[in-house]
Amino acid sequence: MSTRAQFPDESDDAGRWVRQQSRFREWVRADGSSGFSAARGRYHLYVSLACPWAHRTVIVRRLKGLEDVVSMSVVDPIRDERGWAFREGRGHGPDPVNGFGFLAEAYLASAPDFDGRVTVPVLWDRERGRIVSNESADIIRMLNSEFEEWGDDTVDLYPAPLRQDIDEINQIVYENVNDGVYRSGFATTQAAYDDAVGRLFATLDVLERRLGERRYLVGDSVTEADWRLFTTLLRFDPVYATHFKCNLRRLADHPNLTGYLRELAQWPGVAETIDMDHIKRHYYLTHRALNPSGIVPIGFELDLGAPHGRAAISSVGGRTAPTIA
């Protein structure tokens, strides 16, 4: 038995969620070799504070000290059939760059034939009047490395010696955790759900063991791999455990992952990027196929300010990318 897909164009015949590919994959380069030269004030970031993919870019922008270099605006967390909208409200407002009413206008201005799902984040080029990228993985790397003239060059979230390890763990986390919660929540057959949620919790078990032995996922300091995992973990108990039926266990039942989540949430500057009201209202009020009543649950509470206890765990280097059976 199957149910109607939340996004029919992203569901296969077996009821599996298959995420659409990002349409825009250009790059900003410090040397301008891509045609998109890094410059103060040239680029604008459109984000949702609710979205884990957009949240990555908000965090990296903050950690690199680029708030005065790459401007940013926030869409309404409530998305209807018209897509992400620019509306006045707490923590979001009108589009200050183009005066768009909906983010879809940015997509159509960049590719008039675009007929896919409009997603965040979007990196917009004011000079050329078009989207550079709507791929969060690319945008965080641009913010990390291509704006060093203005940003904090002591922060490197993708250090050269660790790139292979970071790429390997990113792939595992993306397939089974970042996208795994969506594959669980948007599955339309029991078999598709069982497969996705099984892979999700098997990977969380591996990560729980790994973070019992080392402070961060790769190397001896925080990298992009940690922030890519963080934005999913932050939403796990308040949203994914219930809304996406990822309820074999709560994140709170994983002590190492919980401490790790708290340490990253307490990282300087990160708390200001977290808006749990936007997060919960977005999921529970937008996905009416999953939550027809539109009721936003009260729990689960996250005590992100509690002691994290991670300082006692030594970080280690070396090639130790986990294996998921």
- Tokens linked to 296: 């936003």
Longest dimension (CA), the chain: 56
* Residues 152, 63 contacting (CB under 8 angstroms): yes
SS3 190: helix
Give me the helix-helix angle, 52-63 and 136-145, nearest 10°.
0
How many angstroms separate the CA atoms of 269 and 64, rounded? 10
Q: Exactly one of 43, 46, 51, 107 is catalytic; which is it?
A: 51
Question: Residue 249: left (phi > 0), alpha (psi -120 to 50), or beta?
Answer: beta
Q: Minimal CA–CA distance to 169: which of 20, 315, 324, 60? A: 324
Residue 130 phi, psi (nearest 5): -160, 165
The whole-angstrom separation of Cα 79 and Cα 303 is 28
DSSP secondary structure code for residue 8 in this structure: G
Q: Is 174 a catalytic residue?
A: no
- E strand or H helix at 198: helix 190-213
Strands 43-47 and 71-74: parallel
Whether 51 is a known active-site residue: answer: yes
Q: For residue 249, what are its two tokens?
A: 């266990």
Residue 262, CA distances (Å) to 173, 303, 307 in order: 19, 8, 8
SS3 92: strand
Q: Which one of the listed residues 46, 107, 182, 193 is annotated catalytic? A: 182
> In this structure, are residues 102 and 122 in contact, taking their beta carbons and an 8 Å threshold?
no
**Edge-first strand listing for the sheet containing 130-133:** 71-74, 43-47, 122-125, 130-133
What is the bridge-based pairing of β-strands 43-47 and 122-125?
Answer: antiparallel
- What is the sign of the dihedral through the CA atoms of 149, 151, 155 and 161? negative
| Catalytic center residues | 51, 182
